[in-house]
């Protein structure tokens, strides 16, 4: 059994009216691939999975998920679940820089650390939310431990290994760009980067001046050396649980996510396109996550706000009008009109937001 260290941290968090403070506890657990740190919010709820998140390269759990998990509408959802936010090794706040020559875990090994976390917490099942590299890690975990994953929200996933063309482009970019610029190019679209908004400036600054930039580079290298997930629709190598694939419009990974959608079970997979950068425009993602949980039987419409209930009613009727649940469901959001459309391709139902 893994050796355990525990650090208790009570975090400051803006509260909404009527909310009681939730204590966040940060733990570290030793695994065959080194130590991993994770932060638990809330208390376990009987007969409910934990929500487990895994962040992208260049970020940690807070910079990746705080905008989503502290979004006001998200509160009525997450209060029903305990949350486990994993920091990839060396990405936790205050992490020391790994010594020269340190062998950073591969993404597959990062996935293999997750059972140690769940065993430590005595949690049997999860709903995973992963972004980029984190989405890959959670998918790999789901392939090897399908019985413990009740659902997955995969944001900007690229399930493919880099081909030689990608490597050539990567090497060329590496000649002229710093690691932090390359990571920014992974996190944001070219349009966003050239727009240089306050948000981009903030992330450019955070990553370029990160005291653990050397650790970040190691996670980045593991991401670039990932194996192909080899999803095969109807084959053995496929995700068995409900999956919500999310991609930002103009995101660098759009084609990869579309291809991933084509390889997963259409009866279990929904595809959602939202405006970028995703975790910073959490409204539509929150709403789609509610539907996703509801589909899994976890968010009774009585738990929802009146507005959400009316939207859900529209959505449910869309599915029954179509009368065919064996096709992939597409949820697409138009940023201009502020509408959320739902239903299988070719049959779109609009629900105004």
Among 65, 123, 141, 298, binds ligand BEZ (CB under 6 A): 65
Among 33, 69, 136, 271, binds ligand BEZ (CB under 6 A): 69
Cα–Cα distance measured from residue 314 to residue 193, given in angstroms and rounded to the nearest whole number: 37
8 Å CB contact between 279 and 71: no
Distance in Å, CB of 69 to ligand BEZ, minimum: 3
Distances (CA, A) of 255 to 105, 199, 259, 279: 27, 24, 6, 19
Pure H helices in the chain: 61-69, 75-78, 107-121, 133-144, 164-176, 179-187, 190-195, 198-208, 213-224, 254-263, 282-295, 306-322
Cα–Cα distance measured from residue 116 to residue 32, given in angstroms and rounded to the nearest whole number: 9
Distance in Å, CB of 12 to ligand BEZ, minimum: 10
Tell me the sheet residues that pair with 352.
339
Closer CB to ligand BEZ, 206 or 319, in the complex: 206
Among 29, 78, 86, 91, binds ligand BEZ (CB under 6 A): 78
Q: Could you give phi then psi for residue 149, rounded to 5 degrees?
A: -115, 115
The reply on whether position 41 binds ligand BEZ by CB under 6 A is yes
Among 27, 55, 83, 273, binds ligand BEZ (CB under 6 A): 83
User: Residue with the closest Cβ to ligand BEZ?
Assistant: 69
Closer CB to ligand BEZ, 81 or 231, in the complex: 81
Residues sharing a CB contact under 8 Å with residue 346, sequence separation 6 or more, in sequence order:
none
Closer CB to ligand BEZ, 52 or 244, in the complex: 52
Q: Which of 110, 230, 235 is nearest to 161 (CA)?
A: 230
Among 26, 33, 38, 85, binds ligand BEZ (CB under 6 A): 85
Distance in Å, CB of 227 to ligand BEZ, minimum: 29
Among 30, 48, 70, 283, binds ligand BEZ (CB under 6 A): 70
Closer CB to ligand BEZ, 117 or 257, in the complex: 117
The reply on whether position 27 binds ligand BEZ by CB under 6 A is no
Closer CB to ligand BEZ, 22 or 259, in the complex: 22
Task: Mark 43-62 with x for binding to ligand BEZ (rule: CB under 6 A) and - for no binding.
Answer: -------------------x
Distances (CA, A) of 310 to 185, 306, 325: 39, 6, 21
Which of these ranges, 78-86, 110-118, 252-260, 270-278, lies near ligand BEZ under the rule CB under 6 A?
78-86
Angle between helix 213-224 and helix 133-144 axes, rounded to 10 deg: 50
Q: Encode burial over 253-263: b for 16+ CB neighbours within 10 A, e otherwise.
A: bbebbeebbeb
Which of these ranges, 66-74, 162-170, 235-243, 330-338, lies near ligand BEZ under the rule CB under 6 A?
66-74
Sign of CA dihedral 311, 78, 246, 179: positive
| Residues engaged in binding ligand BEZ (CB under 6 A) | 13, 41, 62, 65-66, 69-70, 78, 83, 85
């Amino acid at each position: 059994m893994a050796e355990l260290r525990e650090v208790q941290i009570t975090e400051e968090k803006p509260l909404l009216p009527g909310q009681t403070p939730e204590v966040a506890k940060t733990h570290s657990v030793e695994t065959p691939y080194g130590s991993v740190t994770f932060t638990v919010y809330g208390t376990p709820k009987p007969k409910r999975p934990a929500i487990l998140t895994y962040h992208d390269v260049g970020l940690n759990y807070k910079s990746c998920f705080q905008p989503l998990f502290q979004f006001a509408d998200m509160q009525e959802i997450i209060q029903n679940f305990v949350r486990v936010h994993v920091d990839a090794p060396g990405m936790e706040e205050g992490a020391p820089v790994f010594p020269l020559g340190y062998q950073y875990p591969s993404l597959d090994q990062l996935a293999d650390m997750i059972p140690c976390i769940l065993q430590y917490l005595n949690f049997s099942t999860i709903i995973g939310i992963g972004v980029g590299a984190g989405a890959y890690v959670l998918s790999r975990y789901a392939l090897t431990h399908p019985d413990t994953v009740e659902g997955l929200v995969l944001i900007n996933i690229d399930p493919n290994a880099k081909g030689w063309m990608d490597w050539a482009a990567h090497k060329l970019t590496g000649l002229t760009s710093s690691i932090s610029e390359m990571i920014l190019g992974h996190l944001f679209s070219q349009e966003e980067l050239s727009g240089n908004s306050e948000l981009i400036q903030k992330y450019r600054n955070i990553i370029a001046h990160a005291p653990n930039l050397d650790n970040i580079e190691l996670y980045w290298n593991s991401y670039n050396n990932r194996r192909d997930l080899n999803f095969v629709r109807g084959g053995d190598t496929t995700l068995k649980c409900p999956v919500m694939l999310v991609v930002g419009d103009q995101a660098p990974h759009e084609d990869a996510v579309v291809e991933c959608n084509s390889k997963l079970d259409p009866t279990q997979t929904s595809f959602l396109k939202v405006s970028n950068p995703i975790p910073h425009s959490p409204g539509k993602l929150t709403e789609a996550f509610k539907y996703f949980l509801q589909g899994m039987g976890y968010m009774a419409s009585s738990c929802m706000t009146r507005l959400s209930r009316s939207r859900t009613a529209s959505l449910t009727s869309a599915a029954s009008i179509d009368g065919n649940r064996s096709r992939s469901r597409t949820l697409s959001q138009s940023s201009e009109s502020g509408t959320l459309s739902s239903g299988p391709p070719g049959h779109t139902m609009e629900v105004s937001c």
